[in-house]
Structure 1
Amino acid sequence: MPRAADKACSSSPDPLPDLPPGSPAHPGGRPAQPSGLSRRRLLGGLAGGASLLAAGASLGGSGPAAAQELRYFRIGTGTTAGTYFPIGGLIANAISNPPGARPCEKGGSCGIPGLIVVAQASNGSVENIEMLRGGSVEAGFAQADVAYWAYSGTGIFTGTRPFAELRSLGMLYAEAIQVVVRSDGFIDRMADLKGRSIALGEQGSGTLVEARLILDAYGLSESSITPLYLKPGAAADRLAKGELDGFFMVGGYPVSAVSDVAARVPVRLVPLDGEPAERLLRTQRFYIADEVPAGAYPGTAQTPTLSLGAEMLTRADRDPDLIYGVVRALWHENTRRILAEGHPQGRRFDPARAIANVSVPLHPGAERFYREAGLLGSAANEPTRDPAGQPGSGSGRGPGGEPADGRPDSRTDAGPGEPAAAGTPSGADAGKATR
């Protein structure tokens, strides 16, 4: 890890808006879920509100002065049965640094002193974008294509004001598109989904966006199946009971919803390959040819699929010192160890790949970190260190989407520092952004 990432952050940004202890704000009034887990064992943001806020108050002493030292940073994640939620909880645990926490050099948090990070459950990518747009969270996870479409006002966000203030903190890992069916359901390929009851993901989720794209590419649509719009956990439960023929899931394997149903009934993953997949790779810039390895779920075989980057996003108006401290803590070796021990996808976090193909411009605070860490040149279009042959390493493009070597991109007329043009949903059923 570069030397710049080994230091504890000591910056002290302006305090974030106050949050009631134990009940972080959530659009629609939905509170964060409580947890009795210890700070070190926090998973999925369950302790994002209650336990970390309580820890900050108790460790920091009593009185107005101690309370004023606390700062709050909310991250929009995903559903409890997906990947964003547990990953978000691990990140929140790792970079929160309440008063009295174990020092960085002794294996503790290396985040901004006094910062309390809250992992907040949501419906996923689209809802996180809208919460960022409305300012109800400080950061959020989203699939790369969803982020680009929001930034540019294209794709599913056509007709919506471009979210030009959207900025990236970097790509975290590649998440796979998974079509899960029962092994005894006589579904071997995408064409077999016709006439079947298939859960596509709930409104506001990135899974629903990708499901519509995939169906269209394989000559299907919501009218050629019986669509349901369910959370992953509900879809998995119905599949196990025989009340559903299959469901889409986008996430870093193993996804808990798929693992849960695979432990109850034999399942298989439908391959995403052939000419439709090749066409998607040509037209959807952020798609990556990938495969889910054999045994990722009980009894499943190696399955070709498509994946895309999961990015951590924020707004351009967030304090650069704050974002710099968050990104430095995110990539610190202590944080990476917690992630690797806490979730299989945590082992795929790699700062050398974080900016290889981000969908929107880097936030200035994030750009400062990557430059100091030697991962970004003195100009945004200088080469990045992009290890060859790494899954999800992208195309070696700079932080604004331009080629990393600074050569003009034949696919776009975007200027320096702007994302390159990306493919947009081609089918009528791809639809507009769901909110």
Structure 2
Amino acid sequence: MKKAILVLMMFLFCVTSVAATSGEALASASYLMATSSATGNYYRFGSVLAQIISAKAGVSITVTSSGGSIENARLLGSGENEFALIQTDVNHYALTGTEQFAGKPIRGFSAITALYPEMVQIVVSKKSGIQSVLDMKGKRICVGAAGSGYEVAARQVLLAHGMTYDDIDERFLSASEGKNALQDGQIDAFFMCSGYPNSNVVELGLTGGIDVISIAPEYVKKLTEMYPFYSPYTTPDDDQYKIGHTVDSVSVMAMLVARDDVPEDVIYNVTKVLYENLDEIRLLNSRGNYMTLEGAFRGIGGNVHPGAARFYREKGMTVPSKDL
């Protein structure tokens, strides 16, 4: 009898020790989150997420600055960062080895949640007479820096309208260069993909010489069918661009992802903490207003991290299972 009690005590001691060790390992876990430049939206919003996670999920997240979505996917692939903010289109390209990752797919990371929309914005000079994408034929159009996310989006929008660069006078400029070129009358319009409102467009709107055009409903439908990472998007009725109307377009989503080798329990806790503290996130950064449990998979076709999937299933949600 004494021997049986001794064996039971030893068993309970081992179980308790393992649990304590596991808890200590979780509490001491430290990870890096790739975002954007220190002045970018990803860095600011990522810092809020990291603050909430580090305070309440039992792990430490340190935000790192980077070149943005495309670099972040590569940092995940190399293992230099365990978490990152990336766009849903870049997520798709990295996993499928297309566009900027042609022939060189990056695997080994999965989605935690969609965060907020980044709208495809088409800013035009009023003098250009452009009122729709089809009106761009023969015009001087900035499509973004060569190989950038903006440029890919521009090509996709044109393609959905049955157009290519052969139909326009394309100019490869960064967002700030495009803004300056439009202001100086050197181009007629520029594409960009950004959260609304974008400070460059707000500044241009003060001049009264620009408009931001809508994508017609039939082409929004076509884009979302052709590219599953796009979602319909309409600007709020707050006219921050001083153009006198709302704008209908498509958006990709900023999303939070993590490497697959981050333990399932860690990602479960991270996901749970984010959704249990939405009010605080929204208070710290207004982009948190776009985060909802119902919209957690917006623009995400599959590859949800098992830890996040466990949380969503506990909430009675169906988790996308497609392996991109």
1:94 aligns with one of 35, 49, 52: 52
Match of 1:152 among 86, 96, 101: 96
Partner residue in 2 for 1:328: 272
Residue pair 1:207, 1:248 contacting (<8 A) in 2 also:
yes
Aligned match for 2:126, one of 180, 183, 203: 183
User: For the residues of structure 2 that align with 1:349 and 1:70, how far apart are their CA atoms?
Assistant: 26
Task: Say if 1:369 and 1:116 are closer, same or farther in 2 by CA, change over 3 A.
Answer: same
Q: 1:351-430 alignment to 2 at 5 Å?
A: 351-355=293-297, 358-371=300-313, 374-376=314-316, 384=317, 398-401=319-322, 418-419=323-324
1:84 aligns with 2:24: no
1:110 paired with 2:110, answer no
Partner of 2:254: 310
- What's the offset of the Cα at 1:229? 3.5
Structure (1 or 2) with the greater helix fraction: 2
Structure 2 vs 1, CA of residues 227 and 85 (structure 1 numbering), >3 Å: closer, same or farther? farther
Question: How far apart are 1:272 and its partner, in Å?
Answer: 0.8
Q: Are 1:285 and 2:228 an aligned pair?
A: yes
Rounded to whole Å, the distance in 1 between the matches of 2:51 and 2:298 is: 26
Question: 2:136 matched to which residue of 1?
Answer: 193
| 1:74 maps to 2:14 | no
Matches of 1:155 and 1:204, distance apart in 2 = 8
Following TM superposition, by how much is the alpha carbon of 1:363 offset from its aligned partner in structure 2, in angstroms?
1.4
Closer, same or farther in 2 for the Cα pair 1:313/1:228, shift >3 Å?
Answer: farther
Amino acid at match of 1:137: N
8 Å CA contact 2:141, 2:168 repeated in 1: yes
Q: Which has the higher contact order (CA 8 A, sep 6+)?
A: 2
Q: Given the superposition, is the C-alpha separation of residues 304 and 350 from structure 1 closer, same or farther in structure 2, using an over 3 Å criterion?
A: same
Letter in 1 for 2:319: G
Q: CA deviation at 1:268?
A: 1.4
User: 1:91 and 1:356, CA in 2 relative to 1: closer, same or farther beyond 3 A?
Assistant: same
Q: Is 2:26–2:58's contact at 8 Å kept on the other side of the alignment?
A: no
More strand by share: 2
Taking a change above 3 Å as real, the CA distance of residues 206 and 234 of structure 1, as seen in their structure-2 partners, is: same
Query: What SS does the corresponding residue of 2:162 show, helix, strand or coil?
Result: coil
Q: What is the rounded CA distance, in whole Å, between the counterparts of 1:197 and 1:94 in structure 2?
A: 45
User: How far apart are 1:193 and its partner, in Å?
Assistant: 2.2
Are the equivalent residues in 1 in contact too, given 2:214–2:248 (CA < 8 A)? Answer: yes
Find the aligned partners of 1:239 and 1:11 in 2 and give their Cα distance: 56
* Corresponding position of 1:142: 86
275-284 or 167-176, larger mean C-alpha shift: 275-284
**How many correspondences in the alignment?**
302
The one-character-per-residue Cα deviations of 1:28-56 (angstroms, maximum 9, x if unpaired) are xxxxxxxxxxxxxxxxxxxxxxxxxxxxx
SS at match of 2:254: strand
Structure 1 residue identity aligned to 2:162? G
Q: Output the CA distance in 1 between the equivalents of 2:88 and 2:166.
A: 27
TM-score under structure 1 length normalisation: 0.61
Displacement of 1:118 in angstroms is: 0.7
Q: Does 1:120 align with 2:65?
A: yes
Q: CA RMSD in A?
A: 3.1
Partner of 1:208: 151
Tell me, yes or no, if the aligned pair for 2:179 and 2:190 is still in contact at 8 Å: yes
Q: 1:295 aligns with which of 235, 238, 243?
A: 238
What is the letter of the counterpart of residue 175 of structure 1? E
Shift of 1:354: 0.9
The Cα offsets for residues 186-207 of structure 1, whole Å up to 9 and x where unpaired, read as 2211123233333323356432
User: SS where residue 165 of structure 2 aligns?
Assistant: coil
Q: Is the 8 A contact 2:228 2:301 kept in 1?
A: no
Where 2:164 maps in the other structure, the secondary structure is: coil
- What is the deviation of 1:338? 4.1
Decide whether the 8 Å contact of 1:236 with 1:260 is kept in 2.
no
Report deviation, 1:167.
Answer: 0.7
Is the Cα contact below 8 Å between 1:72 and 1:116 reproduced in 2? yes
For 1:88, the aligned partner's letter is: G
Structure-2-length-normalised TM-score: 0.79
Cα distance in 1 for partners of 2:48, 2:199 equals 15
- Report the Cα distance in structure 2 between the residues aligned to 1:125 and 1:249, rounded to whole angstroms: 14
Match of 1:220, SS state, is coil
Which whole-Å CA distance do the structure 2 matches of 1:240 and 1:111 have between them?
47
Structure with the greater alpha carbon radius of gyration: 2
Cα deviation digits, residues 60-104 of structure 1 (max 9, x gap): xxxxxxxxx6834222346846x4343223323433x4xxxxxxx
